[in-house]
Amino acid sequence: MKSIWNQIWNQRRANAWIWVELMVVNVLLWYAIDLVYNYEGAAWQPKGYDTERVFTLKLESKPLDVINDKDNSNAGEDFSYLYNVIKEYPGVEAVSNYYGTIPYTNEVMTDGYALHTDSSNVIRFKVRYVLPEYFDMFHLKPIAGEVNVEKWKSSEVPTPIAVSKELADSLCGDSWKDIIGKTFFNPRLMRNPFPDRRISNYRVVAVLPNHKQDEYQRYEPFLYRPTPYPYPLWWQHMAIRVHPDHVAGFEERFRKDMQPVLDHGMFYMDYIQSYADMKEAFDIEQGTVNYLNTTYAVIAFFLFNVFLSILGTFWFRTRKRRSEIALRMAMGCSRQGILKHYLTEGWLLLLVAAVPALIVCFNIQMGDLTVHTLMDVSGGRFIGCFLVAVGVLALIVALGIWFPARQAMKIEPAEALHDE
């Protein structure tokens, strides 16, 4: 190892440009990897609920000019009838209606509550009104407390609510588990001249995992409330979880079979769509797909040029030293030992360049010059992305040394020395 260091130092003039090249490329590669992590790290985060094999069904009300008084008066019974018909459809595992904030859409409902013990701190959040079976259907498992199915009713006083960990953190910080059992009130409703305290007081019964509307978004404060009864008939979404054996072609079959059935009373079927298709359409609509495709295309082009640049540098450098390789072979060095020598030398050059690159990258991050729209800056993120960048460069350096060195070692030492 000492002899390799001495050789690197003795060739410092020739190695200076390689150091500079490796340092600059290391910094740029780290930045590119950090940028990818910002988006793909967010995409890999759990969104808090399971939408696999789930479809959303939207029932709409017919125009007023085609609804008669009987349809209007029987709306509640008609909706319950359709709800049960859907539950009995072949392949359906579970059904739950909900309204408020809808995943993978711009349909968002927000509100703000405050603790009775701290009425000055009003926290804004997104709201979803759900039936008790909604939690099992979306595999929503509380990380603290529990949802009592029998008491998940809007008529309960105080009204039970379930909050995301993000919302619990906003209210209680590190002691977020202490939020179980605490009561809230809605300042907006309390501003009414005669507030109904039955509907403006809430008690936290469960804390749920962090929530987000879409994979390419940050976690946001989220709150679940019982669906009011009688159900609001003007804004009904139904979530349908389908058995794995029936997922293929389910949307087409359901539309064909149930379109006439759901045309009942004042209701008709507006659409049915899988959450996977909703996500794809939403990402296209928001411009996420085009932005990511463009960004990743630029990064891929950059990586290709990095590959050619570093590979070419070490390829040319190793080929120029064919006589040195031949001399080592003539002196009895093994092929494995020669290859190990040059690989170690290349990696030491990279290590020397990585030290100033690390300082530059650290200052870039401390200067808030990285993209962290979706994922927070952290020490783990910085170290992980930097090590990946160094690892990628180490592989390219190894390839740039291994192949030409292997080719040179196939030539007879006398012939290689004669060519020089």
Question: Distance (Å, rounded) from C-alpha 205 to C-alpha 228?
Answer: 17
Would you tell me the crossing angle of helices 12-44 and 379-409 to the nearest 10 degrees?
130
pLDDT at res. 416: 46
* Mean predicted lDDT score pLDDT of the chain: 82
Summarize pLDDT for 97-133 with one digit per residue, the tens: 888 888 888 888 888 877 766 667 778 889 999 888 8
pLDDT at res. 297: 93
* Predicted TM-score (pTM) of this structure: 0.78
Among candidates 398, 400, 387, which has minimal Cα distance to 26? 387
Would you tell me the crossing angle of helices 335-366 and 12-44 to the nearest 10 degrees?
60
Q: Say if residue 199's pLDDT is above 60.
A: no
Summarize pLDDT for 259-318 with one digit per residue, the tens: 999 888 888 888 899 999 999 999 998 888 899 999 999 999 998 988 888 888 777 776
